[in-house]
């Protein structure tokens, strides 16, 4: 028998008989390791303890203390245990796939009857019984034909499709625990008893297309979460509940910022306080853009079909456009068809074409807070995050190819500053290259992709590749920021476009006196005001920094004898540009403090007899229990300073 040499993490090399398993190796090292072992890493592959090793390589034995590996195994084996439970309860159910995801797993089933919440607890109970059996999990490599024959006999059509999709040079691996069998690339735990019976929960049922394709039948997906123990599961559930409290849809209603209603799905009704927040943010953005050399414009909301045909939107984007046929009540004259703008770019090119002619004017940066309408699929709508009517902080930079690099760099600077001002210090950059459905020739795409990559690298920006996710007219950078509870949001974007200037006939006169084609950079920082405000609400949990807070100060009275003074203080604050309101209601001070705290007002000023006499106010800040009595003039100058937006400090 031949032998193989295996290198361990401490760089020691040992010789073993060819075909030895990681379980046997662990056993040779020590009994306790053999007990604790759950899997191995072999030459960079996650390796089942039971798989034979037949060549030299690096090996590491994993135990339950190797957290990421342990969780992966637990969740993967959970998926199998759940599928078995489902098939034991409802044998007619067809199994498909069941991968590990963040915090848990899912498994997709084909079954005529929908799963109910009751069914979920039945499945959970069955899973616990299976776990209690502590049955070994074993695997075999089968011939492709044998596997197909097996699944044909067992009426598992999805599994046949999966076997057929396995590349010729990859093994077809079958797993068992008890009598239950599944096709799986592994690895798994070696015993069903190793998963924590109290560390998992079935979360929800949802529809999901077979193989993620909307042409395929819809399956039923059951999601589960699993951790190493009950404590970790509990803390995860607690975190979910906390995240739910921040939901901008809930906070938005509580704080009376906006609402939606049936007659306008996906369109926001901004209430006074929400609109104050919106305007504060918009004015800040306008100042930042002016400072960065942009000019602001405004273009029509409704444009004729012919222009959308020229721009390419009619062909690539029509399904998402609201059409307007007021000029054409019979719907018989296609030329009279108009559409609400889903993007601002074609309008901006019209302005460029009227006013720009010379290379001396480039780069020309044209910004618009453009109100766009897109007919989003009904299932995509989600509060402020995904709407059908929204305003972009949109701009197009018309420049030469040579200017892409410096424009990209200064854009990234501007974006970083703005994100930091708004409370987001961390963001990642993704580079999205050409999609399958696109306009423009391949060599143009190659040029655009190269230009954007080298500009990004020159700006000293790390990026991840996001293949095939570019816009139909060009590659793009996506800026994804991370909020206070670690969730990711794609907001900013920078897109290089060689196509649209060509289609809409944009030119400039070069130094040589000839006409040239400018490049367009489409860019946004917030993305849409609606979405960004949704993110701000969730990030701050509605407790906005003073400069953004819709209502900054409430002046409230302790006795009605202070009414006059309270009115006067409020008036003084308002005249300084602070957003202050007075509360003279006939309620106890406790009651009023509670109410304004719940409403997340950053500063509550209480005035009673004492304050009236001394010309002071008692200040209570949101989140603090302490109260300080402050001279009115001192407080005013403090608040004026705090109310300044970050760019004016």
The interface region with RNA, picked from 451-459, 564-572, 574-582, 584-592 by CB under 7 A, is 584-592
- The answer to whether 269 contacts RNA (rule: CB under 7 A) is no
Distance of CA 187 to the CA centre of its chain: 30
Q: Say whether residue 570 binds RNA (CB under 7 A).
A: no
Catalytic-role residue among 396, 592, 596, 620: 396
How does DSSP classify residue 558?
Answer: S
Whole-angstrom CA distances from 154 to 50, 147, 150, 174, 196 are 26, 11, 6, 14, 30
374 binds RNA (CB under 7 A): yes
**From 126, 188, 221, 341, residue interacting with RNA (rule: CB under 7 A):** 221
Q: 430 phi and psi, to 5 degrees?
A: -120, 140
Q: Is 225 in the site for RNA (CB under 7 A)?
A: no
Q: Which is nearer to RNA, 125 or 624 (CB)?
A: 624
Residue 127 DSSP class? H
Annotation marks residue 316 as catalytic? no
Identify the active-site residue in 246, 522, 531, 592.
522
Distances (CA, A) of 121 to 28, 112, 222: 42, 19, 12
Pattern of binders to RNA over 102-121, x per CB under 7 A?
------------x-x-----
Asked whether 573 and 553 are in contact (CB, 8 A), the reply is yes
Q: How far is the CB of 176 from RNA (least distance, A)?
A: 29
**Terminal C-alpha separation, the chain:** 78
- Tell me if residue 337 is catalytic: no
Instruction: Give every strand in the sheet of 137-142, ordered side by side.
Output: 137-142, 172-177, 180-183
**Is 102 labeled as catalytic in the residue annotation?**
no
The region of 69-77, 161-169, 455-463, 553-561 touching RNA under the rule CB under 7 A is 553-561
Please work out, in degrees rounded to the nearest 5, the angle formed at the alpha carbon of residue 570 by the alpha carbons of 564 and 572.
Answer: 105
Asked whether position 472 contacts RNA by CB under 7 A, the answer is yes
Binding mask 323-352 for RNA (x = CB under 7 A): -------------------xx---------
Nearer to RNA, 155 or 594 (CB): 594
Concerning whether 476 is annotated as a catalytic residue, the answer is yes
- Which residues, 176 to 215, sit near RNA by CB under 7 A? 204-209, 212-214
Residue 260 contacts RNA per CB under 7 A: yes
Q: Among the candidate windows 288-296, 348-356, 471-479, 547-555, which touches RNA by CB under 7 A? A: 471-479
Look at residues 394, 364, 399 and name the one whose alpha carbon lies nearest to residue 294.
364
Please state the closest distance from residue 22 (CB atom) to RNA, in A. 34
Query: Binding residue for RNA (CB under 7 A) from 296, 609, 633, 647?
Result: 609
Residue keyed to tokens 């989140």: 623
User: Which residues from 381-400 bind RNA, rule CB under 7 A?
Assistant: 381-383, 386
Binding positions for RNA, 305-324, rule CB under 7 A? 316-317, 320
H-only helix segments in 47-143 = 67-89, 117-133
Min dist CB 221 to RNA, Å, is: 5
Query: Of 648, 623, 634, which is closest to residue 540 (Cα–Cα)?
Result: 623
Q: Report whether 403 contacts 371 (CB < 8 A).
A: no
Is 374 an annotated catalytic residue? Answer: yes
- Taking the complex as a whole, the smallest distance from the CB of residue 114 to RNA amounts, in Å, to 4
Pairing of strands 464-466, 427-432: parallel
| Residue 543 binding RNA, by CB under 7 A | no
DSSP-based three-state secondary structure for 22: helix
Active site residue 394: yes
β-partners of residue 52 are 21
The reply to whether 567 sits near RNA by the rule CB under 7 A is: no
Separation of alpha carbons 59 and 42, rounded Å: 5
Residue from 591, 631, 637, 647 touching RNA (CB under 7 A): that is: 591
* Known catalytic membership, residue 155: no
Q: Tell whether the torsion through CA atoms of 12, 17, 19 and 23 is positive or negative.
A: negative
Query: In 3D, which of 183, 110, 187 has the Cα closest to residue 151?
Result: 183
Instruction: Indicate the residue among 214 and 575 with the shorter CB distance to RNA.
Output: 214
Active-site hit among 119, 394, 433, 583: 394
Indicate which residues carry an active-site annotation. Answer: 345, 374, 392, 394, 396, 476, 522
């Amino acid at each position: 028998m031949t032998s193989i040499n295996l290198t361990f993490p401490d760089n020691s090399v040992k010789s073993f008989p060819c075909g030895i398993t990681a379980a046997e190796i662990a056993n040779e090292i020590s009994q306790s390791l053999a007990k604790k072992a759950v899997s191995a890493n072999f030459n960079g592959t996650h390796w089942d303890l039971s798989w034979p090793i037949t060549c030299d390589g690096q090996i590491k034995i994993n135990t339950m203390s190797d957290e990421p590996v342990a969780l992966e195994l637990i969740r993967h084996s959970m998926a199998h245990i759940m599928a078995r439970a489902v098939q034991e309860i409802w044998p007619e159910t067809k199994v498909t796939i069941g991968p590990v995801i963040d915090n848990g797993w899912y498994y997709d089933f084909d079954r005529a009857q929908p799963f109910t919440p009751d069914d979920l607890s039945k499945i959970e109970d069955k899973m616990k019984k299976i776990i209690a059996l502590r049955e070994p999990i074993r695997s075999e490599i089968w011939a492709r034909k044998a596997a197909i024959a097996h699944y044909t006999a067992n009426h598992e059509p999805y599994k046949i499709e999966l076997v057929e999709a396995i590349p010729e040079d990859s093994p077809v691996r079958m797993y068992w625990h008890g009598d239950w069998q599944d096709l799986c690339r592994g690895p798994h735990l070696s015993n069903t008893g190793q998963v924590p019976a109290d560390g998992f929960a079935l979360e929800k049922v949802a529809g999901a297309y077979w193989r993620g394709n909307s042409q395929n039948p819809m399956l039923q997906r059951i999601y589960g979460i699993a951790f190493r123990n009950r404590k970790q599961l509990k803390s995860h559930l607690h975190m979910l509940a906390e995240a739910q409290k921040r939901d901008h849809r809930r906070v938005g209603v509580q704080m009376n910022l906006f609402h939606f209603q049936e007659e306008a799905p996906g369109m926001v009704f901004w209430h006074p306080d929400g609109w104050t927040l919106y305007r504060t943010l918009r004015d800040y953005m306008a100042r930042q853009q002016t400072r960065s050399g942009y000019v602001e414009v405004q273009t029509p909301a409704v444009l004729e079909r012919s222009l959308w045909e020229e721009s390419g939107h009619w062909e690539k984007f029509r399904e998402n456009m609201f059409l307007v046929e007021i000029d054409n009540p019979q719907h018989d004259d296609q030329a009279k068809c108009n559409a609400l703008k889903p993007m601002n770019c074609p309008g901006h090119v019209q302005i460029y074409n009227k006013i720009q002619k010379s290379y001396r004017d480039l780069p020309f940066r044209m910004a618009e807070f453009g109100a766009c309408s897109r007919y989003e699929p009904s299932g995509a709508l989600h509060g402020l995050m995904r709407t059908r009517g929204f305003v972009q902080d949109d701009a197009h930079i018309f420049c030469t190819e040579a200017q892409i690099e410096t424009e990209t760099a200064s854009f990234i600077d501007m974006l970083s500053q703005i994100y930091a001002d708004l409370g987001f210090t961390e963001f990642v950059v993704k580079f999205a290259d050409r999609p399958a459905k696109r306009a423009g020739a391949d060599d143009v795409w190659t040029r655009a992709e190269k230009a954007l990559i080298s500009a990004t690298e020159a700006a000293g920006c790390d990026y991840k590749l996001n293949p095939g996710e570019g816009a139909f007219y060009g590659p793009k950078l996506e800026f994804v920021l991370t909020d206070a509870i670690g969730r990711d949001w794609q907001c900013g974007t920078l897109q290089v476009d060689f196509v649209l200037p060509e289609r809409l006939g944009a030119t400039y006169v070069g130094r040589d006196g000839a006409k040239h084609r400018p490049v367009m950079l489409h860019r946004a920082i917030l993305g849409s005001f609606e979405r960004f405000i949704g993110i701000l609400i969730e990030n701050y949990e509605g407790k906005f920094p003073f400069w953004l807070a819709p209502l900054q100060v409430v002046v409230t009275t302790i006795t009605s004898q202070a009414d006059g003074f309270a009115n006067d203080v409020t008036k003084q604050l308002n005249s300084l540009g602070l957003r202050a309101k007075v509360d003279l209601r006939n309620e106890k001070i406790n009651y009023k403090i509670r109410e304004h705290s719940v409403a997340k007002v950053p500063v509550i000023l209480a005035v009673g007899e004492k304050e009236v006499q001394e010309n002071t106010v008692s200040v209570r800040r949101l989140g603090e229990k302490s109260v300080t009595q402050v001279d009115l003039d001192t407080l005013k100058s403090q608040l004026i300073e705090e109310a300044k937006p970050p760019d004016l400090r």
